[in-house]
Amino acid sequence: MPLENTGQILDAARKAGYCVGAFNVFDHLSLESVINAAQDFLAPVIIQTSSGTVRRFGAKQLVAMTRTLSDDLSIPVGLHLDHGTEMELIQECIDAGYTSVMIDASHFPFVENVLRTRMVVENAHEKGVAVEGEIGILAGVEDDLVVQQDKAIYTTPEEAIQFQAESGVDFLAVAIGTAHGFYKVEPRLDIETLRVLHESVEFPLVIHGGTGLSMSILSALVSAGASKLNISTQIKKVFIDSLGSYIKTHPGEYDPIKMLKYTRGELMNTVSDYLEVLGSKGRINEESESLS
């Protein structure tokens, strides 16, 4: 099927009480692995790319690759720009056919964040593209953005409601103690805050920093109302570790197809584990192709 508006994918997830995996991809193999695993599990899925990946391939090529791989499938696939910070690059993704973009102006004061986000919302909605905003500050690294864990600021329901009303975002990334990248210390998540946020707002909530969270924490996040979970570093780790271990265990074998097939299998296993715990497995009925 054609690429699906990410807002609609998340609205359906919120309504039915499950969470959609949003996996950062960086090349054809990672993209293919995520889409294939989601199709095997009949799970809706969000493909997301960092700004760095857009700079590497160009938005048009990423849209073409994603469309080609998902056109004949029965699952809804959204294509999302993760952590957009440059207006020009965000616009490139909107124009090329991404089904959602994130504008991350969370490091600006609240009012400036609202203004910048609203500008993107106006452009994106004109083209039927959904928008993710962010308030509060997440710790860790995403492309060039580095934030110390002790500076993380958690989101309050009042802020979330005001931000959505004034900016018009379709879904919102909130800060409850997760961080980008590998956790150096045990994360102290405020899952109760997520539950209160979820009960107070009427739009889907996004949790960043999925890598390194245990299956029981992920399951608690879903129960508390997370509708979108971002996973990036774990995908990169499995990709690099799998290629590395294949090369090590097959010295002298110069058959890239075998190496890539092995890596795709490992990536698919990783993605499948996430889809299972997020509760998105089996949500697509193959006959009706509808979201439940």
Task: By CB under 6 A, tell whether 3 contacts ligand 13P.
Answer: no
Task: By CB under 6 A, tell whether 233 contacts ligand 13P.
Answer: yes
Q: Spot the catalytic one: 82, 143, 190, 273.
A: 82
Residues within window 171-230 making contact with ligand 13P, judged by CB under 6 A: 180-181, 208-211, 230
CB burial readout 200-231, b (16+ within 10 A) else e = ebebbbbbbbbbbbeeebbbbbbebbbbbbbb
- Clarify whether 82 is annotated catalytic: yes
Measured from the CB of residue 237, what is the shortest distance to ligand 13P in angstroms?
9
Number of residues near ligand 13P (by CB under 6 A) = 15
Measured from the CB of residue 140, what is the shortest distance to ligand 13P in angstroms?
6
* Among positions 142, 172, 218, 226, the unique one binding ligand 13P when judged by CB under 6 A: 142
Say which DSSP state 174 is in: -
CA dist., res. 21 & res. 127, Å (int): 24
Task: By CB under 6 A, tell whether 83 contacts ligand 13P.
Answer: yes
Q: Which is nearer to ligand 13P, 102 or 284 (CB)?
A: 102
CA atoms within 13 A on the CB side of 266: 19
Residues in CB range of 121: below 8 A, 6 or more apart: 103, 131, 167, 168, 169
Task: By CB under 6 A, tell whether 231 contacts ligand 13P.
Answer: yes
Tell me which residues touch ligand 13P (CB under 6 A).
24, 82-83, 142, 180-181, 208-211, 230-234
